Amino acid sequence: MYIRDTIAAVSTAPGNGGIGIIRVSGDQAAMVGNTIFKPVYDGGLVSHRFSFGAVIDAQTGEKVDEAMAVYMKAPRSYTREDVLELQCHGGWVVVERVLSVVLSCGVRLADPGEFTRRAFLNGRIDLVQAEAVMDIIASKSEAALQLAQKQSEGILSKRLEDVRLCLLHALALVEAYIDFPDDDLGDTDTTAILSSVGEARRIVADLLLTFEEGRIIREGISVLIVGKPNAGKSSLLNRLLNENRAIVTHIPGTTRDIIEETISFDGLSVRLLDTAGIRQTDDIVEREGISRALDKISQADLVLAVFDASRTFGPEDQMILDEVADSRVIAVLNKTDLPQLLVLPDEGRFVSTVRIAALSGEGIDLLKQTVCKAFLHSTATDSREYVALSKARHRDALVSAEQSLTKFTGGLRDRNLELLALDLRDALQAVGSVTGQTATDEVLDLIFSSFCIGK
């Protein structure tokens, strides 16, 4: 439901900053500006012009802070309502004080995401674009930001609109026959319907194929480093991080807990976890570390299994291979600067084998590229037209659309026309729920409640 009252909130992040922005949206925005903002130069607030002045407490006349104010008259604003933004000093006390004099004009504190929700409800953006706004703010990597920006520009929405138009075309043809129950679908119309639905299915199927990659771009991956003690796991972690985060010693068993850092490999966000060296041991603390490492193996998107290539393959190496048998693994053969003795059995089972010398950094770039290649398959992720599904909500809706279309196509020649029309409407409903055309209030509540206040 959309109550057209006027809302206000702090739009900058909590805490102290250079400037703080208080945003007001709704019919009363200009009234708020005229009540609590006194421009230095006469002329009042002019739409889309900044003016410098003071925020004052309307009750006491006291000056609260200096500020820049910009008034944006509807519909040329973020929400398509009248909007006032006040830029004041960025300390949390002053920002809260400005907010309180704004609220004292009789406007309401905004709910989380309510400005963006209004932009959606007023038709400025669709739901995919609204969610993308959130993703832009929460981006963990360059690639995630790029994908979110493309979604916010409407590239995914455009594909979904193409699907909708194909389905509406097919539905119109089917419905034309419902009005004439004695007629069968003619050959020409059957061909036209199949062609439209086929095109819609193709676009949906292509989008579904992008989901895994889109999710990985948006959320990043977790990469677990395992290996026997002294294989060079900590040295590798430090090389990947370019710092001395993990303690490197020649005494086996020094990393006893899990060390975690997030970094970016060619724009992909990677959560790196370095674990205790895996081996048989009587040391209780070390055993606990090993057990934690083993627990993490099944949760990781990728395992880097580090082997000391200067030693022959032994029972401890075999133990590692057994533990990672069900995982996606890159075998990392370390210490290639020393004479090579290791012969790794069954190399074919790994995603790849990369030879490195963690000490000198040899092979580290290749390892990073190999990790990226294992997850980002398309070469076009930075092209203007690249689009991918990145949210489970979108994927689930398109899977449901695909199922309805499969049912439709399978029954085209022998099912009742009313039922066929129902399949198409189900598919339209599913596609529309992604862009928000058919999303319920509960769905909107769920999506926007995860936004921050002020967005």
Chain positions contacting ligand GDP, by CB under 6 A = 227, 229-235, 248-250, 255, 277, 334-335, 337-338, 357-359
Report CA torsion sign: 352, 355, 358, 360. negative
Q: In angstroms, give the least distance from the CB of 342 to ligand GDP.
A: 13
The vertex-369 CA angle with 312 and 329, nearest 5°, equals: 45
Q: Which is nearer to ligand GDP, 159 or 233 (CB)?
A: 233
Q: Which is nearer to ligand GDP, 167 or 306 (CB)?
A: 306
Closest CA to 160 of 447, 430, 443, 441: 430
Q: Which is nearer to ligand GDP, 280 or 379 (CB)?
A: 280
Q: How far apart are the first and last CA of the chain?
A: 18
**CB atoms closer than 10 angstroms to residue 342:** 17
Q: Which is nearer to ligand GDP, 32 or 226 (CB)?
A: 226
Q: How far is CA 239 from CA 244, 335, 367, in A?
A: 8, 13, 11
Q: Which is nearer to ligand GDP, 33 or 277 (CB)?
A: 277
Q: In angstroms, give the least distance from the CB of 362 to ligand GDP.
A: 8
Q: In angstroms, give the least distance from the CB of 378 to ligand GDP.
A: 33
Q: In angstroms, give the least distance from the CB of 355 to ligand GDP.
A: 10
Burial 111-133 (b: 16+ CB within 10 A, else e): ebbbbbbbbbbbebbbbbbbbbb
Q: Which is nearer to ligand GDP, 101 or 231 (CB)?
A: 231
Copy the structure tokens of residue 227.
């290996």
Look-up of token digits 């006040």 = 86
Q: In angstroms, give the least distance from the CB of 79 to ligand GDP.
A: 53
Q: In angstroms, give the least distance from the CB of 311 to ligand GDP.
A: 11
d(CA 398, CA 387): 15
Q: Which is nearer to ligand GDP, 32 or 330 (CB)?
A: 330
Q: In angstroms, give the least distance from the CB of 337 to ligand GDP.
A: 5
Which residues, other chains included, contact 216 with Cβ-Cβ below 8 Å and sequence gap of 6+? 268, 301, 375, 376
**CB atoms closer than 10 angstroms to residue 395:** 19
Q: Which is nearer to ligand GDP, 112 or 252 (CB)?
A: 252
Q: In angstroms, give the least distance from the CB of 255 to ligand GDP.
A: 5
Copy the structure tokens of residue 7.
């809302």
